[in-house]
């Protein structure tokens, strides 16, 4: 530990961003890197606490104090090795993860003397920023190279889905010496990383770089192939000794009100995926195009997907963007029922919300109003949440102008295609694929990871569970009787 009093002497500083007016001009990333010297200063704030709860906050169990100390010492290659020991894609999590590790950092709990005797929290270590820059530096300097298994087992594994869980599972299985094929129903590899997260948060060249690494490590990819439709489950099971299901939670929660079927009402992922394709150079047919240009856009849902819709709509030239959230506004500080080191449920302003638009909380949509078959507005009412029930506030009804309505209210589980039924895997009470602690399903030799088994969650959870399922699948393939 190089700076025992670093957390007292050094203030938390975050990296800068391009000005809003500049970043709204295109779809590129806008967060700026921090120079080496101030980044090492931020790493010096890590207090080497006796029990590093950041490990508990991070599903991957990242060795955070270790690589913070290595950055402070200027040992960048060693820091990258430490980081990659637990995380296959740290340059991705360093961009898109909400950083539960920072929420459980001891410095987010600690208090230090301030002016006039006041005591305040010094703020968590900037773990996410440090992680991203370790990973970016390692990739840019050629420190990250393909790791091909020295001996091949001759045993084959199939991974269904190429999101973060599928890619992590595929890489771990390939490094264990097995022949891995990833099946992806879309035309490009990446799943949620490719068609769910906007380029301004994650440019796709970053995903392409990792996909190239996996190819060099022996992973084969088959795009435009839906297992259960283009490839039968029977042929899959006969050709591969183990199968890892990593198809995500693609069923979006819908809005069940009058007017839902009007033109101009779309699930959020329809807009996000289409815009990612547009940025990639695809030509969108005029009859299929979803555009926010010059429109009054309303986004239902205040989570990450809703925030991504706000940023995308602003870049498409929306006349206005309004975010509506059914739940009440979160508190500015932790409630007594939300103790550290649990994830802090507090009011947050995303980079997209910084860019424009308005946000309203405690608002319920009663109906979608149309004119000529298209959405014209929303009938909404304010509501109070009492005893788990939303109660409309009398007299608060109003009509909100809306030309484009985006539904970003979360996801309910995996798509019920022929795959799950044909495999016969058991589902849990929420409709996700049921797995044991190792990721094994009810069907021998079939494993599941990420959102398909967990429900919609974080990229770090997907990677962690992909690694876990890969270990279980490798153990299955390596049984003596096989």
Helices (H), 394-441: 418-423
Distance CA 335, CA 213 (A): 44
What Rg value do the Cα atoms of the chain yield, rounded? 23
Look at the alpha carbons of 146, 152, 154, 159 in this order and tell me if their dihedral is positive or negative.
Answer: negative
CB atoms within 10 A of CB 56: 14
| Percentage, residues of the chain above pLDDT 70 | 97
CA-CA-CA-CA torsion sign (202, 205, 210, 214): positive
C-alpha closest to that of 159 among 191, 200, 193: 191
Residue 201: CB atoms within 10 A of its CB come to 19
Q: Give all domains of the chain, ordered by start, each with its CATH number.
A: 6-140 (1.10.1060.10), 156-250+412-477 (3.50.50.60), 254-409 (3.50.50.60)
Per-residue pLDDT of 271-309, as tens digits, reads: 999 999 999 999 999 999 999 999 999 999 999 999 999
Rounded Cα gap, residues 370 and 265, in angstroms: 10
CA 272 to CA 261: how far, in whole Å? 20
Task: Provide mean pLDDT across the span 333-343.
Answer: 89
Residues in the chain: 482
pLDDT digits (tens, 9 = 90+) for 418-436: 899 999 999 999 999 999 9
Contact 369, 378 (CB under 8 A): yes
The sign of the CA dihedral 195, 198, 199, 203 is negative
Q: How far is CA 169 from the centre of its chain?
A: 17
Q: Hey, what are 255's tokens?
A: 């809005």
Q: What is the pLDDT of residue 120?
A: 57
Given a contact cutoff of 8 angstroms between Cβ atoms, the answer to whether 369 and 379 are in contact is: yes
pLDDT digits over 75-103, tens only?
999 999 999 999 999 999 999 999 999 99
pLDDT in tens, 366-404: 999 999 999 999 999 999 999 999 999 999 999 999 999
* 301: nearest Cα among 205, 406, 219, 388: 406
- Specify which residues 321 forms β-bridges with: 297
* Residue 166, burial from CB neighbour count under 10 angstroms (0-12, 13-18, 19+): buried
In 3-state terms, what secondary structure has residue 379?
strand
- Considering only 74-83, 102-111, 156-165, which range has the smallest mean pLDDT? 102-111
């Amino acid at each position: 530990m190089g700076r025992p009093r670093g957390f007292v002497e050094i203030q938390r500083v975050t990296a800068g961003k391009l000005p809003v007016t500049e970043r709204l001009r295109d779809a590129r990333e806008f967060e700026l890197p921090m120079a080496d010297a101030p980044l090492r200063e931020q790493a010096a704030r890590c207090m080497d606490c006796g029990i590093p709860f950041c490990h508990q906050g991070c599903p991957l169990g990242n060795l955070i104090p270790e690589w913070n100390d290595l950055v402070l010492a200027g040992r960048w290659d060693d820091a990258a090795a430490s980081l990659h020991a637990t995380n296959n894609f740290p340059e991705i999590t360093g961009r898109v993860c909400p950083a539960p590790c920072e929420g459980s950092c001891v410095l987010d709990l600690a208090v230090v003397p301030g002016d006039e005797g006041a005591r305040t929290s010094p703020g968590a270590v900037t773990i996410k920023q440090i992680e991203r820059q370790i990973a970016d530096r390692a990739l840019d300097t050629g420190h990250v190279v393909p790791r091909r298994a020295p001996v091949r087992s001759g045993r084959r594994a199939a991974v269904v889905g190429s999101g973060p869980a599928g890619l992590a599972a595929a890489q771990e299985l390939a490094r264990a010496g097995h022949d891995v094929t990833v099946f992806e129903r879309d035309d490009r590899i990446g799943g949620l990383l490719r068609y769910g997260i906007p380029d301004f948060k994650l440019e796709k060249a970053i995903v392409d770089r990792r996909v190239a690494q996996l190819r060099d490590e022996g992973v084969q990819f088959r795009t435009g192939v839906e297992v259960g439709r283009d490839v039968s489950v029977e042929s899959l099971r006969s050709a591969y000794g183990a199968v890892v299901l990593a198809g995500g939670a693609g069923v979006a929660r819908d809005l069940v009100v009058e007017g839902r079927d009007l033109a101009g009402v779309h699930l959020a992922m329809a807009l996000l995926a289409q815009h990612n394709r547009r940025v990639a150079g695809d030509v969108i047919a005029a009859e299929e195009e979803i555009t926010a240009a010059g429109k009054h856009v309303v986004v239902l849902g205040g989570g990450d997907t809703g925030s991504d819709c706000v940023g995308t709509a602003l870049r498409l030239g929306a006349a206005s963007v309004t975010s509506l959230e059914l739940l009440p506004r979160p508190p500015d500080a932790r409630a007594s029922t939300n103790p550290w080191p649990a994830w802090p449920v507090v009011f947050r302003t995303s980079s997209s919300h910084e860019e424009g638009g308005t946000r309203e909380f405690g608002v319920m949509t009663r109906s979608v109003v149309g004119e000529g078959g298209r959405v014209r507005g929303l009938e909404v009412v304010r509501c109070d949440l009492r005893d788990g029930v939303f109660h409309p506030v009398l007299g608060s009804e109003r009509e909100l102008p809306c030309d484009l309505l985006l539904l970003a209210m979360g996801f309910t589980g995996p798509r019920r295609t022929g795959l799950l039924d044909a495999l016969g895997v058991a589902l849990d009470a929420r409709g996700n694929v049921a797995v044991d602690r190792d990721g094994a399903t009810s069907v021998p030799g079939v494993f599941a990871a990420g959102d398909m088994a967990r429900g919609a969650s974080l990229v770090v959870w997907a990677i962690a569970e992909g690694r876990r399922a890969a270990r279980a699948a490798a153990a299955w393939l390596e049984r003596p009787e096989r």
